[in-house]
Structure 1
């Protein structure tokens, strides 16, 4: 009996020691060997970068470079210059100058192959392989915000989601949404008219928060058959979640950080749970009402149902509730935040360039002739399209395009090992003088007079909606929405920069005005 007990003890001890040894080998391989192997393969091709430290990579050096850049930057917030990428992401530009246009650096144990060479970006963007997908860390580190929805998934599950969602955002469907966009915008602009009337013809209005409300209402009506008032709490909580998660951006990849019960993580977990429950409540109300309208939510519901019944199901299992929640969160975030920000930046640029404001207004008034804009009118607004495209160049909402090689791949003469994260800083490409000319930091919508192809030397270096097969499927929707919002504002108001405005672009997972956007607004005579 005693011998049997001793034998059992030895088995348990051996199992524990084996488990500990296995965990050690796994961590050693994941945190040390794999990153070093990737670095070694790239180094043999002449790709260099700052030496990383164990566990934290180059985070300490990145923070040091940022701190120095902020301490030496001009503090004149009244001056509106567009060279913000050099102060917001100074480590990118320092290492680009030090190691060349293609270099490596790491955050935690995530190795990034940073590419600022426009020709290399062109070749990567032309790849249609499903082996070039979203980085696996995106669905882990950004799980509370995106889950495994269309923005963060890869491979067959991404292709399946795109097949469902993309047709609902094709141009023919977008045309039918224009009236709803006009209605949503008009509601908010009436409050501006009241403010101007109450302030004797001139009002100082913070417009960015109102534009978020407009955009939220548009995406709610167009895609979910509801209004902003019904989804208000979801949008507000997503916004709060975004702000909290942006605080840890530099620490992406630090092992175990997102699992620690820190104050921020506890708040993230709470918000994630609440948002998921709120979305499911909206979904259940839709199911209970037997809503027959074929909007985007209905298509997502039908796709979730068909996948669970093994009809047209991709190669992996799909959890219906998770599938619905993740894609709703993706659409809520992408359809609201990025468009509202672009509209805000466009108003800043038009307010500081009254000649272009007058030119865009004249076009709108000529085309609309006192009527509300429709799809055909939007199509003819060429000057406004140029303004929007230039805004997206100078202030792209998304700062980085990230891809992961799911197998060994080759782009031109560069062999990229499997599991490499390709990291493309969009603002760097959008401000590259070799691509855009010596006026790359200036607001000049005229450069888009002949479209994107004629605007720069390498059109693939222009990527406000991403690149390649994963280009944003909602770009037609976004452009129509921006034209509606801006054309209605231009037709009703003239505007200039408020003394309260402080120009300080900030990175909170998207590029946004840190202190909001205040404008001095008057009615157009």
Structure 2
């Protein structure tokens, strides 16, 4: 009797545990997301109806497949300056047309409010509350790349990181980095010159890889006191990790998948360990020689910042490694991809290429470029701004309501993520005019404020408190690189070029950019 009673109690206990687990899973996967959706629906915000567990992922895949079939039928006839979001994220354009500029959709358990209305974009940019921060899925789904670094953190940790890192990108500091940027640009130009001397003029060069090496060299020298050769393994691992993580154009939103030993997850874990070990070695070497070194670069500031960090914010080692990863990735990836698109556009528009080259030769007068010269390159600045409008390297500005937040007339409940598709705003004909899909740097001739009706919707470097800290650094680097190349080469787009922007965490040309190069 006693044994039977024990078995019965055990059965009831196990059944209760299983029942609670099932109920809790149902609550997390359906009831809680449904409550969030209802709070927005009651405010007049609607969107495609989600399914259990998957949200709108299946519909997203269907629309993507339909778009691929359409593209295959019209391959070669799509303008190189068309809105890339319509081909990479066609479901967003479809839902915007159906539900309006503000709509709600779901990727599993992640509830997303998509924002394409200028007024609400402005409200997000003006919001100073820490309750509107970076989405939690960044640390979860992209933790191997971003960790708890400045690109993904919130609250007190983010404030401390910003205090440590921001001063290193003030313009007076960037001014001191000009010479090393020029040296890196000369190395790249010399390598192309050498190639053309052996292969002859009108040789085809696929520029993507070389531009990525250039920007990696600059961020290594400027921020970490080493050359690209020293950080080569780190950049190689980061690139592999980026490719592994960019298989999906959205967070999968399905709880638990990131913890399963799937092939993709195993690759991420392995690369993350390798990157962490490589960065830790650089840091240990720096700290061992700190007494005999007078280097006061960004790495020095990060190490110092980790030493005065509140213990509640995490370990010093994680602080250093995660922020180094963030800066290695963001510091070179966005510049290289923007330079690649810029060369593609100048190759496609020879009149603008000639105009920028004329300005560069007139300003520099055959001398090595310096900071004062950079400030005089107005036409080149316009071309870069227009490139960033047509091909913003980061496709989204994402925020999460960490607590309930009021944005204009909308009350965002805690847990809702907002997405702004930057390219969609940058191609809005109501804002930019009838030529919004055309390459026209002249629109920036009187500055960003006069380029469109709603200047706050020009977001190549993000918006609000979380605007990219490195935008001064990036613009100076781009001007030095492009002026160096334009003063030594002419180039045209190769007939082999296939226009296919691809989402790989940043937006880059899927098949590269081959240019026909000729020395001046």
Contact 2:220/2:226 (8 A) holds in 1? yes
Report the CA distance shift for 1:323/1:19 in structure 2 as closer, same or farther (over 3 A): farther
Post-superposition offset of 1:14: 6.7
CA displacement, residues 137-174 of structure 1 (integer Å, 9 cap, x when unaligned): 11111100100100001111111101100000110000
Alignment partners' CA distance in 2, 1:199 and 1:122: 52
Look up the match of 1:465. Answer: 461
Look up the match of 1:56. Answer: 54
Report the CA distance shift for 1:421/1:281 in structure 2 as closer, same or farther (over 3 A): same
Alignment partners' CA distance in 2, 1:176 and 1:490: 23
Give SS of 1:502's match. Answer: coil
Report the CA distance shift for 1:13/1:268 in structure 2 as closer, same or farther (over 3 A): same
Look up the match of 2:297. Answer: 295
2:375 pairs with 1:373 = no
Q: How does 1:9-20 map to 2 (within 5 A)?
A: 19-20=17-18
Report the CA distance shift for 1:96/1:200 in structure 2 as closer, same or farther (over 3 A): same
Post-superposition offset of 1:410: 1.7
Alignment partners' CA distance in 1, 2:305 and 2:6: 51
Alignment partners' CA distance in 2, 1:176 and 1:18: 66
Report the CA distance shift for 1:19/1:225 in structure 2 as closer, same or farther (over 3 A): farther
CA displacement, residues 9-65 of structure 1 (integer Å, 9 cap, x when unaligned): 788767655544443343222211111011101111111111111111111111110
Look up the match of 1:479. Answer: 475
Residue in structure 2 matching 1:520, options 505, 516, 519: 516
Post-superposition offset of 1:318: 1.7
Contact 1:78/1:502 (8 A) holds in 2? no
Post-superposition offset of 1:82: 2.2
Give SS of 2:469's match. Answer: coil
Contact 1:180/1:222 (8 A) holds in 2? yes
Contact 1:118/1:435 (8 A) holds in 2? no
**Greater shift in the superposed pair: 169-178 or 317-326:** 317-326
Alignment partners' CA distance in 1, 2:382 and 2:319: 37
Post-superposition offset of 1:252: 2.0
Report the CA distance shift for 1:355/1:75 in structure 2 as closer, same or farther (over 3 A): same
Look up the match of 1:120. Answer: 120
Alignment partners' CA distance in 2, 1:192 and 1:165: 34
Post-superposition offset of 1:6: 8.8
2:414 pairs with 1:410 = no
Alignment partners' CA distance in 2, 1:96 and 1:424: 12
Give SS of 1:249's match. Answer: coil
2:162 pairs with 1:162 = yes
Give SS of 2:313's match. Answer: coil
Alignment partners' CA distance in 2, 1:23 and 1:282: 45
- Unmatched segments (≥5 aa) in structure 1: 308-312
Give SS of 1:271's match. Answer: helix
Contact 2:249/2:503 (8 A) holds in 1? no
Residue in structure 2 matching 1:346, options 342, 346, 350: 342
Alignment partners' CA distance in 2, 1:139 and 1:437: 38
Alignment partners' CA distance in 1, 2:5 and 2:216: 65
Look up the match of 1:145. Answer: 145
Look up the match of 1:306. Answer: 308
Contact 2:156/2:313 (8 A) holds in 1? no
Give SS of 1:496's match. Answer: strand
TM-score (norm 1): 0.95
Alignment partners' CA distance in 1, 2:8 and 2:295: 65
Q: How does 1:318-357 map to 2 (within 5 A)?
A: 318-357=314-353
Contact 1:120/1:411 (8 A) holds in 2? yes
Look up the match of 1:82. Answer: 82
Contact 2:363/2:376 (8 A) holds in 1? yes
Count of paired positions: 516
